[in-house]
Amino acid sequence: MYPFRFSLATLNLWNTILWEVRAPAVKRFLELYRPDICCFQEVREKTLQDIDLFLPMYDRIDDPLPGWNNEGTIYFNRNLFEEIEHGEVELDMPEKDRRMFWVRLSVRHSPLTLLVANVHLTHQENADECATGLSYRHAQAEKMGIALDSLERPDEPVLVCGDFNDPVHPARQLKGHGFVELFNSLGLAQPPTFPCAAMTDEIHVTEAIDKILSKGNIRALQGSVPNFYHERAGLSDHWPVVATFSVGKDEIE
């Protein structure tokens, strides 16, 4: 079955702040865009309970490690994908439950597999960085690259996405491991993903910090940062990133 096409979205769900206001917007976004794979950061038990209802034809990673339920998780359309295995990689983060979370998926009725990783790197305004000017993210990105090198299989498409909290260095570092950033691969400048000014007062900075990168036998067909509103609410203090990819023998360069 070549090529195989699928869509993916990444979104920082902003904990439970204003969740009762934002939940209808998240539900409507998922109904309209129907991404086949969803990578969420800053999840909580309450948001997961609701998203489970919003995505009845999807599975998410079932794991007792606290981070899968209170930091980051991955949903996938069970009609298209089946989980082979999943895991997490320690990145020496000050946030105790954060990891790089990953899943290997098989494409149903096909020999294809995908490796999908989801991450939320440490915020620029953490206390240590404000005091010293030294970033956690450089070391975290290096550990990500090394871990992904060890996890990937020959010719297997690899996707890494999430809230990088840095518009430059993590994507630059992962480029050294063979990854290409979504919008760069399409010859486009990435639109900002933070802030959604209608939802937050953190308007002192505008950044393209939510990223999707890919590697291997895969090609981006389109990417967007939908400024999505529903019933006067946005999805989060971040905007989502949505992409469509093609996988198959004809995508090998």
Q: What domains lie within the chain, and their CATH numbers?
A: 4-251 (3.60.10.10)
What mean pLDDT value characterizes the chain?
A: 96
Spatial separation of the C-alpha atoms in residues 43 and 133, rounded to whole Å: 28
Buried b (16+ CB within 10 A) or exposed e, 63-77: eeeebbbbbbbbbbb
Tell me, what amino acid is at 22? R
CB atoms within 10 A of CB 94: 12
Percent of the chain past pLDDT 70, that is, above it, reads 97
1 has a pLDDT exceeding 80: no
Q: What are residue 159's phi and psi, to 5 degrees?
A: -125, 135
Give 203-227 pLDDT, tens digit per residue.
Answer: 999 999 999 999 999 999 999 999 9
Query: What's the average model confidence in pLDDT over 10-15?
Result: 98
249 has a pLDDT exceeding 80: no
pTM exceeds cut of 0.75: yes
Give 120-154 pLDDT, tens digit per residue.
Answer: 999 999 999 999 999 999 999 999 999 999 999 99
DSSP annotation string for 81-92: EEEEEEEEE---
Q: What are residue 20's phi and psi, to 5 degrees?
A: -65, -30
Query: What's the average model confidence in pLDDT over 81-106?
Result: 97
Among candidate residues 167, 142, 40, the one with its CA nearest the CA of residue 89 = 142
pLDDT at 2: 64
